[in-house]
Chain A
């Protein structure tokens, strides 16, 4: 075994599996709720990519900052944002984690230093640079972790941000979730050089590529990167290779890829992989897995019931939160 492998306990592996199952089943319930028109707007699902947010989040502590994209339900859940708050936000309720202003694409929970939910591709990268700059200036020993897809790599803000991060030697962990399609545009139609981690290396960042379907590999790489960042080694970049099992959003007929391709990737899915490993190594009993799934379902049922019953923001609140104080106009 190479030295960057984690020595993980049975309990920890169970924890990782449960987190991934939480996300998967949450997303599946969102599909149902969307067809029931309880959830509206754009809905971008994370199925297939769960190992990345779950793995990376193990390396972060409560003081670290997290920024994510519009495909961020999994990140919010893995970060510890209560499922009830997330589901209520999906329903557009007052009790949602963004007070019903954000919806699926803009989940925020500042008490957990979860800074959204950004629906402009690459739009959060400059913010991550600034948060890390503020931490460096105030000598706070924390990491800013910024998630984005490989589609962001084609944006100018990606390049500007990586340059600034290295130039100023900022404590940032960049996580590229390379799911091979920017909406419907395949990687080979997006990038002249498809080795994304090399682009980061060109800017001088410590950069590597990992199997984004293997939660332990993702966690191991993230732990090493965060340790280095906390020790002043500057920004790190991890390209996690993964695949999105569902469409880009709920309005996607997936004309751009074959069902056989999707099926091939599903066989390598993060939950299947870890479950298979645990079973074949006698690290999980069938009853334990069943109990885990049942607990997740109960949590989701409760979140849905809570969201159904939650109040909506009164219309008098429409203009609140545009400014700290409503301007006199």
Chain B
């Protein structure tokens, strides 16, 4: 049981993959000589050489497409995109090729590709380096979308993603890289497509993932001090979405609060709300609430940026309002 940072957990996962499987290689902008924009791949070039740690030109569409081609050709590429906003330059390859080739070919083509990308706000990087587009990718059949929010998932999800025969996108929130935690044993890691209940409770379910998980956990602790028993559901995988775990949690707590760093409209939080409306309406004792990113391109100024993101006090406040709500359960006749 050792204490490590998310950065080191992500790196250790790559070291393990590169060591155990000669088909694995890492490719992306500044992953080699520079050591990675967020220093996740620092030192890998020295350890594994330029054949397997490949610095690419600034050609997102080109090198993501090359990753898809290499995956088809029998390799197990890890393609790093420096930041989620840059991945938009490779949307054509990700959506038109990676997500479609298996289906379009009648099942003949497999794309066992892993794409890692940094995402999320909190470092005052403004409107072209800070967004949360996991919902955009989770919209697309053919892709799998992972968003580790714990040290264990940061360390062990890559291995599961590389073992998957389909393209997997892994989001890494930039505010997590420096956070540290205790590394669990491998055996404790759930399959990658399963949501995990990080804290059990009976009064209200906070449903979240990735960069908002620690905020939800902090909020839950504060609510415990106020005497409430809060459950925290970590989705981990946004496509396919583990709807059963969400519904099962709400069935027990009767209240659902969704925390999503991305914009509220037409995103993951809306999808989860719709799922609850469709499949869990009669379990709910209060309207579903959502704490989401404010609908603005992420601003630079510190106070504006903070105000645009879900914060712990907001989560606590919303939860308390829901918990104190006297709205009775509609009588079902």
Contact = CB atoms under 8 A, between A and B. Distances in A.
B62 A163 contact: yes
A328 interface: yes
Contact of B65 (A115, A130, A138, A323): A130
Contact of A133 (B64, B73, B110, B166): B73
Contacts of B166: 323-324
A179 B77 CA distance: 36
A126 B105 contact: no
B142 interface: yes
Interface in A85-122: 96-102, 106, 108-110, 115-118, 120
B70 A130 contact: yes
Given A123-B93, A134-B74, A137-B25, A329 B241 contact: yes
B106 A97 contact: yes
Given A138-B75, A164-B57, A100 B141 contact: no
Contacts of A108: 104-106, 108-109
B59 A160 contact: yes
Contacts of A130: 65-73, 77
Contact of B69 (A96, A134, A321, A327): A134
A267 to B, nearest CB: 38
Contacts of A190: none
Interface string B81-97: 00000000000110011
Given A323-B142, A323-B166, A327-B240, A98 B108 contact: yes
Interface in A16-69: 65
Contact of A110 (B66, B93, B108, B164): B108
Contacts of B108: 98, 108-110
B240 A157 contact: no
A106 B110 CA distance: 15
A324 B73 contact: no
A155 B156 CA distance: 38
Contacts of A284: none
A123 B96 contact: yes
Interface residues of A, number: 46
Contacts, number: 153
B105 A129 contact: no
A109 B108 CA distance: 8
B101 interface: yes
Given A133-B70, A134-B70, A323-B142, A163 B59 contact: yes
For A125, A126, A157, A329, the residue with the greatest tally of chain B CB atoms inside 10 Å of its CB is A126
Given A106-B105, A130-B65, A134-B74, A324 B93 contact: no
Contacts of B171: none
Contacts of A154: none
Nearest to B62: A160
Contacts of B68: 126-127, 130
A156 B102 contact: no
Given A126-B68, A130-B67, A324 B110 contact: yes
A116 B105 contact: yes
Interface of A: 65, 96-102, 106, 108-110, 115-118, 120, 123, 125-135, 137-138, 156-157, 160-161, 163-164, 167, 320-324, 327-329
Interface of B: 25, 51, 56-57, 59, 61-75, 77, 92-93, 96-97, 101-110, 141-142, 144, 164-166, 193, 240-241, 243
5 nearest A-B pairs in the assembled complex, by CB-CB distance = A130-B69, A126-B65, A134-B73, A99-B106, A160-B62
